Amino acid sequence: MSTVALAVTEGMRQFELSVAYEVFGPPPSAVTGPWYDVSLCGPSTVRIGRFRLEPDGGFDRLARAGTVIVPALAETDEAPPAELVDAVRAAHEAGARVASLCTGAFVLAAAGLLDGRRATTHWAHTEELAARHPRVEVDPDVLYVDDGRVLTSAGKAAAMDLCLHLVRLDHGSAVANTVARSLVVPPHRAGGQAQFVTTPVPARDDHPLGDLLPWVMERLDQPLTVDDLARRARMSSRNLGRHFRSVTGTTPLQWLLTQRIRHAQELLESTDESVEGIAAATGMGTATTLRRHFNRTVGVPPDAYRRTFRARARTRIRPGEDDGSNPAGNPAGNPAGSPAGTPDGGTAPKWSPMA
């Protein structure tokens, strides 16, 4: 998947295209080793918003890429260009992983790649996508959908989430977190998180969970429950759930489980601690519990995940540099068994309750 082709054509939106290039283009200085080879593929000259782009090659290059990214279309009323649709279909048939950002899903649907699959797009266009392509199972309530070699994202910021998800799949959590930190965005938002939260996220010091979330991140090794969180926040469990849904788009229990799994991923990549030790360090209790939740969430057992990513993470993050892997300020290389988020005396990376 080291070659990434960005499909460009007239009438695309520059935001999603720029997001993809920022993520897959030249990596942050803290990331070393092999990286992506990115190219723009499209007609001779294309206009994207107020900009004119000179692609590196034609659509035929999509079929030779490991990953093909289809950015958002500005207009969905008309059918996408047939040349683009045919090239995306050919790339998928050749074995490429194909991902759409925002309304780029209309191209994948036109190519037949979404037939019988769950997919998403910007919430304002989900009904239209479902009406025009009834064989697609459109999910309007998620940030992105990973269906193996076909992935789709919701609009705008969700495009960043999907791109970082791809980096995480290819290079591990530590590298993905480093890229996120360089872009000053949350290191990880799960694809199943709601794409449309009705209450805007207030400043950290103002919202009801402002003190609670970092407090939890510092105690992931403890067997915290929803009742524990409610007591800490000085509110009922019902009120806690309502505030969590409005601020994070998910439930307290799911958010807590996500943080535990993320921390387990980081420890598997960067330490030699046993699965039993990581289970204790992440508050999972036993190795059996960790394996069950990890396999269900990540898709592979912890041992297989470690074999795949640990060596890469160690060689691509320069020793002593903060990889930004813990949004609560955990120093890089925090040993297993020590409390997550222990301050190291330095400046903690920027943190978001939506992480």
Tell me the one-letter amino acid at 179.
V
Mean pLDDT of 301-330: 54
Task: Give the chain's mean pLDDT.
Answer: 82
Q: Which of 62-66, 143-147, 267-271 has the lowest mean pLDDT?
A: 267-271
Mean pLDDT of 342-347: 25
pLDDT score at 306: 85
Composition of the chain by helix, strand, coil, percent to 5: 45, 10, 45
CA–CA distance, 143 with 147 (Å, rounded to integer): 13
Whether the pLDDT of residue 166 is over 80: the answer is: yes
Quick one: which of 319, 329, 312 has its CA closest to 30? 319
pLDDT score at 187: 67
- Condensed to tens digits (0 to 9), the pLDDT of residues 69-122 reads 999 999 999 999 999 999 999 999 999 999 999 999 999 999 999 999 999 999
Whether the pLDDT of residue 288 is over 80: the answer is: yes
| Crossing angle between the packed helical segments 173-182 and 252-270, to the nearest 10 degrees | 110
Would you mind telling me the total number of residues written for the chain in this entry? 355
CA–CA distance, 95 with 275 (Å, rounded to integer): 34
Q: Long-range contacts: 133-142, Cβ < 8 Å, 24+?
A: 133/109, 136/109, 140/195, 141/194, 141/195, 141/196, 142/191, 142/192, 142/193, 142/194, 142/195
pLDDT score at 196: 43
Per-residue pLDDT band at 347 (split at 50, 70, 90): very low
User: Are 205 and 211 within 8 A, CB to CB?
Assistant: no
Per-residue pLDDT band at 201 (split at 50, 70, 90): very low
- Residue with token string 């449309």: 196
Element (H, E) at 19: helix 14-24
3-state secondary structure of 68: strand
Share of the chain above pLDDT 90, in %: 55
Work out the burial of residue 223: count CB atoms within 10 Å of its CB; fewer than 13 is exposed, 13-18 middle, 19 or more buried: exposed
- Condensed to tens digits (0 to 9), the pLDDT of residues 128-145 reads 999 999 999 999 988 899
Mean pLDDT of 141-164: 93
Share of the chain above pLDDT 70, in %: 81
Rounded CA Rg of the chain:
21
pTM of the model: 0.66
- Condensed to tens digits (0 to 9), the pLDDT of residues 247-269 reads 777 899 999 998 899 899 889 88
